[in-house]
Amino acid sequence: MAESDIRNLPFGSLVTALITVFTTDGAVDYDATAGLAARLVDDGCDGLVISGTTGETSTLEDQEKEDLFRVIAETVGGRAKVIAGTGTNHTSHSVEMAQRAERAGADAQLVVTPYYNKPTQAGVLAHFDAVADASDLPIMIYDIPGRSGIAITTETMIRLADNPKIQALKDAKADFAALTRVLANTSLDVYAGDDGLTLPWMTAGAVGLVSVSAHVATVQFRALVDAAAAGDLARARQIHFELDPVVRAVMTHIPGAVSAKQILRMQGILSNSVVRLPLVEPSAIEMEAVLADLAEAGWDFSKGRHPAPSRERS
């Protein structure tokens, strides 16, 4: 797929799962979150997930989510796709959140597999169909068995793809064989749901990435997605290798929302790194591991060596 094609996808191609910025007393900082959203779009994101896992959706109130959908749509709508994280493990609650997202001006929604309940595949199918029927927003399914407790089987995914409102898949299952069957048997736009699998997933036919690490290396991820889409595998491979220690820093030692906020603060983009319980600030030992990976990537914060340009803090 050419770069001109991926820049016109219904869900975007470089999609960042946006953190939710909080004030020092733990309230949602809507202005700072909107400022970060605008910055990410300026640097190359053409889609943002609002109130996803990295947005700490599990500790946001419904009204906070709706207000975030509205504020981000007002800030970057028309320049990037605003994808509302509406999925819960309660179908009627997910239906309500889909309707709230539509009223708030979102372009689409990310709907995760119902978690904790461990429904059968028939229940999974009925859940997604019910959410799809609740609004006119197109759906990106989020298949992440490590968090939901169950995987969506390939057979179920193929059946879900028959629903015209289910148009995309964020694949965080790390199962290349299952991915291959979905790509071969559906017209879903597939997105890598693991930052480190962007290159192999796009080589197989995925159209882009829903990322956490793109918070701190947006320009590099934009270049990776564009190179992979253009078939420039040599360039894509080079960027993939350069980004590997950054991805490890963000994704392997502490929760992604925590690490992304820590690095954004060190980059001077955020003024604090507050998270809501049960997430907590990292220990010194945990941060040593993060900083060691960043040092491997050539990022030395003591000398200002990192990719974020110098701008005013949000």
Active site residue 30: no
Given 30, 65, 142, 173, the catalytic residue: 142
Is 211 buried (19+), middle (13-18) or exposed (0-12) by CB count in 10 A? buried
Given 81, 170, 173, 261, the catalytic residue: 170
Active site residue 173: no
- Residue type for 286, please? E
Tell me the catalytic residues.
Answer: 142, 170
